[in-house]
């Protein structure tokens, strides 16, 4: 597969960007990886980048973003933080990706068996981790007392999407104008499959 270019970005839509993520995950799950020359992609992106989307995922080592969506160098902006939530810096990075560079879709990606979600559920207190898991506690509360950890992780994705709209007027306007899409997904660490919503 070829690297994203100015021409491919000119034809990119929010829906097409989402479809590329869905198709890539299906190739990953079906073991039908696209043929790529990664060193050629290094060379072709050395003078500029045209990523079609942004994926906000967890730092979990089992969820390497480019691999699980069968993507190459220059395809997406990958943002990773334990618990896949947003803060000022992450929102600024997304605003740069979408408003300045022209990325067309933001996917907030949670995953099953998330340690950060478990930490929030267990009210872990450990150095800076305490503040991090506190940012996920609203999902614990919103999901309800009978929710499983995976249900809490999904709720965390939903709340993160709400936060993007609430805390970034730039991204909200782009989404409302149809210039970008914003959606959620859950990656299953057992199967490798992403459920999109």
Write the pLDDT tens digit of every residue in 97-126.
Answer: 999 999 999 999 999 999 999 999 999 999
Range of the domain at 119: 6-196
Closest CA to 109 of 169, 166, 64: 64
- Please list, in sequence order, all residues whose beta carbon lies within 8 angstroms of the beta carbon of residue 101, skipping any fewer than 6 positions away: 49, 50, 51, 77
Residue 110, strand partner residues: 186
For residue 179, is it within any domain?
yes
Flag whether 97 is in a domain.
yes
- CATH number, domain containing residue 164: 3.40.1050.10
- 32 assigned to some structural domain: yes
Does a structural domain hold residue 1? Answer: no
Residue 1 has pLDDT above 80, yes or no: no
In a domain, 38, yes or no: yes
- For range 163-188, the mean pLDDT: 98
* Long-range CB contact pairs, 148-152, < 8 A, 24+: 149/113, 149/114, 149/117, 149/118, 149/121, 150/112, 150/113, 150/114, 150/186, 152/117, 152/120, 152/121
Q: Is residue 153 part of a domain?
A: yes
Q: CA-CA-CA-CA torsion for 81, 27, 13, 179, nearest 10 degrees?
A: -20
Q: Indicate whether 109 belongs to any domain.
A: yes
* Number of folded domains that form the chain: 1
- Rounded to two decimals, the pTM is 0.96
């Amino acid at each position: 597969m070829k690297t994203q270019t100015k021409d491919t970005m000119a034809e990119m839509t929010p829906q097409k960007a989402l479809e590329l993520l869905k198709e890539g995950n299906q190739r990953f799950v079906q073991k039908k990886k696209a043929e790529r020359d990664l060193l050629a992609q290094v060379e072709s992106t050395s003078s500029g980048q045209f990523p079609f989307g942004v994926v906000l995922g967890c730092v979990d080592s089992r969820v390497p973003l480019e691999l699980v969506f069968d993507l190459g160098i220059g395809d997406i902006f990958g943002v990773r933080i334990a618990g896949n939530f947003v803060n000022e810096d992450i929102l600024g990075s997304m605003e740069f990706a979408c408003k300045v560079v022209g990325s067309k879709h933001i996917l907030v990606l949670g995953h099953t068996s998330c340690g950060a979600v478990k930490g929030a559920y267990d009210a872990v207190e450990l150095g800076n981790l305490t503040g991090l898991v506190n940012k996920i506690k609203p999902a614990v509360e919103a999901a309800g007392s009978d929710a499983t950890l995976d249900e809490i992780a999904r709720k965390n994705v939903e709340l993160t999407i709400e936060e993007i709209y609430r805390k970034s007027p730039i991204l909200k306007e782009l989404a409302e104008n149809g210039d970008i899409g914003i959606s959620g997904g859950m990656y299953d660490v057992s199967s490798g499959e992403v459920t999109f919503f």
